[in-house]
Amino acid sequence: MNAAHTDLVRSILLAVSPLGLCWSNDTPGLAYTRDGKPFKSGLTGSSDILACIKGRFVGIECKTGKGQLSTPQRRFRDAVIRSHGVFIEARSVDQVMACLKSEGLA
């Protein structure tokens, strides 16, 4: 994650947080058991920002520059859409707010 990506995630979180429950999803993570064995947590491909707004699940994947969705991210997007959630591939705060407004969530 580079500085531009981090700034985009933070800016979107600030804009979206007043609308509902939102959090930055820093996964997958790596931790260690008591006996020193590593294990991964989190869902590979899940969005940078997860939210529940007016009872709907929202996944926001932040992209900067020429960044595109990876295969696991596309799978996550498809699962969100199949479940009647909202998935946004975000490149700006304005884009996110427009998408949420079109869904009746902002």
Q: Is the pTM of this model over 0.85?
A: yes
Give the model's confidence band at 24: pLDDT under 50 very low, under 70 low, under 90 confident, else very high: very high
CATH assignment, 3-102: 3.40.1350.10
Give the pLDDT score at 5: 96
* 46 three-state secondary structure: coil
Q: How far, in Å, CA of 58 to CA of 104, rounded?
A: 12
CB atoms inside a 10 Å sphere around CB 3: 8
Q: Give yes or no for a contact between 41 and 31, defined as CB atoms under 8 angstroms apart.
A: yes
Encode pLDDT of 68-85 as tens digits.
Answer: 999 999 999 999 999 999
Encode pLDDT of 4-14 as tens digits.
Answer: 999 999 999 99
**What average pLDDT score do residues 18-36 get?**
90
